[in-house]
Amino acid sequence: MARRVILRAAIFIAGFGFVAGSTLFAFAWFTVDIPDANAYVNSQSTIIQYSNGSEIGRIGAQNRQIVPLAKIPLNLRCRKCGKTTWAGCGNHVKEVMRGVSAANRCPGHENDPREPGFFSKLFKKS
C-alpha cells in the first residue's frame, strides 16, 4: 500500500514538473525578444548598446563599402616562385599585401616563357 502511494506521488510530481517546465519554457519563448542580426548589416558605424538594447552611442562613422566575400582578394603562394601573391578582383590588393615585405612578394611572371599545356605535351609531334 505504501509502495503504491509513493508511486502515485512520484508520477504526480513528475507530471506537475513537466507541465510547469513546459509552461515556463513557453512563457520564455514568447516573451524574450531576440534582436534581428540583419538589422545591423548595413550600419555604417559601430553602435554601442546597453544590455537592454538601448543605444549608448555611435562611433566610427566611416565611408564603408559592403563588398561580397567573393570580391575580396586573397593572399596566396605563387606556383612558380613560392612567394606571396594575390588573387581576386584587384581593388584591395594594397590592403591584402600590407603585411607582406617587398622581398617576399611575387614580382609577377608575365614575361616568363610559357610552359606547354597538357594537350600540347600529350599530342606533341616527335
What's the CA gap between 81 and 126, in Å, rounded? 31
Dihedral of alpha carbons 8, 13, 16, 22, sign: negative
| Confidence (pLDDT) at 44 | 66
Which positions ≥6 away from 123 have C-beta within 8 Å?
none
What is the pTM for the complete model shown?
0.35
Residue 19 confidence (pLDDT) above 80: yes
**What mean pLDDT do residues 4-14 have?**
92
Q: What is the pLDDT of residues 43-101, one digit of tens each?
A: 567 778 898 888 888 777 666 666 777 777 777 888 888 888 877 777 777 777 888 88
> What is 27-85 written as a DSSP string?
HHHHHPPPPPGGGGTT--SEEEE-TTS-EEEEE---------GGGS-EEEE-TTT--EE
| Confidence (pLDDT) at 68 | 75
CB 85 within 8 A of CB 106: yes
| Confidence (pLDDT) at 100 | 83
Q: What is the pLDDT of residues 89-118, one digit of tens each?
A: 777 777 778 888 888 888 887 777 777 777
| Confidence (pLDDT) at 43 | 59
What's the CA gap between 74 and 9, in Å, rounded? 66
| Confidence (pLDDT) at 24 | 95
